[in-house]
Amino acid sequence: MKQDYEALVSRVKRTIEANKIVVVYGWMQSNHNSFTLGIPEDKVRFVERSRPLRVRAGLVLTTSFVLRSDHDSLESHGYEVHGAVLGTGEIRRILQQVSELWKPDVNPGAPECATGESRTDPE
């Protein structure tokens, strides 16, 4: 089981490093927390099951809210779908394992904001 988890973390990491988007399909707005809301959409997209998937995904992770028929439909449309459904907590843990791929390196003396500009005032 641990080996499967590590393989999936590695797969997610390789997908993002290849500049492809990981889609979490079946994610509901109520599943978000401050961590998931801070993930850039060019790395990971969260899509509700009721919405069509209109993004070129490198990998699709499905939640337990997705029906098997939805999963099969995604595969039949050419999406690379991870074989097992995942719980929301499991998805968060996986994404936390690869979060260094989108978190900027921060200099403790001069933290940077999203634009890359220093948050400290020049002297």
The domains located in the chain, with CATH, are 2-101 (3.40.1010)
Residue 32 φ/ψ, nearest 5 degrees: -70, 150
Average pLDDT score, the chain: 84
Start-to-end C-alpha separation, the chain: 54
- What does the pLDDT look like over 93-115, one tens digit per residue? 999 999 999 876 544 444 444 43
Residue 16 φ/ψ, nearest 5 degrees: -65, -40
Q: Is the pTM of this model over 0.75?
A: yes
Task: Specify the pairing of strand 57-62 against strand 44-47.
Answer: unpaired
- What does the pLDDT look like over 6-17, one tens digit per residue? 999 999 999 999
- What does the pLDDT look like over 14-65, one tens digit per residue? 999 999 999 999 999 999 999 999 999 999 999 999 888 888 899 999 999 9
pLDDT for 18 equals 95
Two tokens at 99? 């979060």
Nearest to 58 by CA among 18, 95, 9: 18
